[in-house]
Homo-oligomer: A and B are copies of this chain.
Amino acid sequence: MVSLNDVARAAGVSKSVASRALNGDVNARIREDTRTRILEIAEQLGYVPNRRAIALRFNRSGAIALIVPDPNNHVFAEMLSGIQQVATPAGIDVLIGTVDHAPEGRDAVQRLLKQGRVDGILIQRREDFDDNELREVVPEGIPTVFVNCRLDDRTGSVILPDAEGVRIATEHLIDLGHRDLGFIGGSPTHDTAVRRRIGFEETLASHGLASRPEWVHELGWEAPSGAAAVDAILVRPDRPTALVVASVNAAVGALSQLQRAQVKVPEEMSIVGIHTTWVSETVFPAITTVRMPLSKIGSTAAEMLLGHLDGEALSNVTIDDPAPELLVRGTSIAPTKA
């Protein structure tokens, strides 16, 4: 590796002049020909500043960590792309990590910062983390932005318009003529899951409809939970004619489980999910969903974190632009007269 010293020596100047020339220091007094000579030699030698030295000098690593429950998740991938859109131009690298339950998880996350590997973290709540556990993993004082989740007494979060998204999904079904609606939600330990369920209940209420507790199942966001919720609904003698599923993976699980149970979708049961992925677009029938601004949540969170590292205050933001968008596919039609 060619170092600043190598450049300086080749140019016949000292490290300091070389550094100032390469950084374009306007206050530096350097003869024009010296400056260009240094730049040329640096170019020629392929000089690249050593991040490790910079990191030590400025006590900044130039990296942030993204802590996710499960990298095997499309929602995460779209968020990541938004994060990279902000981080990469800023010269910031992104490190992906997962977090176990405390105390191992807590230690791992804190080590990242204490060791100076990263300057701050973006963290997505695990579905099975309650507030206390989340608080313990990310103690106050470490630069953190919560993504797609919120911890009540903490600032620094970016969330989606969850209630609004669910309202759009629910009203789509109501507009089609459905009156008997079920809800398959995430685990209620997760604040996002709670917001979505409330969005469902409120939308029903605003249309003068009642929520049927036996049709509301909050088991989790992944496919098996969606399938289990369908099982729980199908054992009952009376069924809803449509399901609002508060996640896309659970919607895939629900759809498949309905097909397994020989319930025709959408003829006998409509489904609307939240978020859209290649899977929900690919399966047959493709799933009607509400697209949420996932990429935007990533970019906004990254901007907030980077700003915070530069001294700006954290805040709690809800992404409302772009607005949630209904994507009508093949799993939602008017209820068939029985």
A residues lining the B interface (CB < 8 Å): 1, 46, 48-53, 55-56, 59, 61, 63, 70-72, 74, 76-78, 80, 84, 93-98, 111-112, 114-117, 222-224, 227, 249, 252-253, 255-257, 259-260, 277-279, 282-284
Contacts and interface: CB of A to CB of B under 8 A. Distances in A.
A76 to B, nearest CB: 8
Contact of A227 (B252, B257, B279, B282): B282
A333 B15 CA distance: 73
Q: Within the oligomer, what is the number of copies of this chain? A: 2
A96 B83 CA distance: 12
A127 to B, nearest CB: 15
Contacts of A249: 278
A256 B227 contact: no
A111 B48 contact: yes
B71 A117 contact: no
Lowest 4 CB-CB distances: which A-B pairs, in order?
A: A72-B77, A259-B284, A51-B115, A48-B114
Contacts of A96: 71, 80, 94-96
A315 B218 CA distance: 49
B48 A56 contact: no
10 contacts: A1-B116, A48-B111, A52-B52, A53-B56, A55-B56, A71-B96, A95-B95, A96-B96, A227-B282, A279-B279
Nearest to A73: B77
Contacts of A63: 95, 117
A185 B133 CA distance: 45
Nearest to A88: B108
Contacts of A253: 282
Given A53-B56, A55-B56, 6 more contacts: A52-B52, A52-B61, A72-B74, A93-B97, A93-B117, A223-B279
Nearest to A282: B223
B61 A278 contact: no
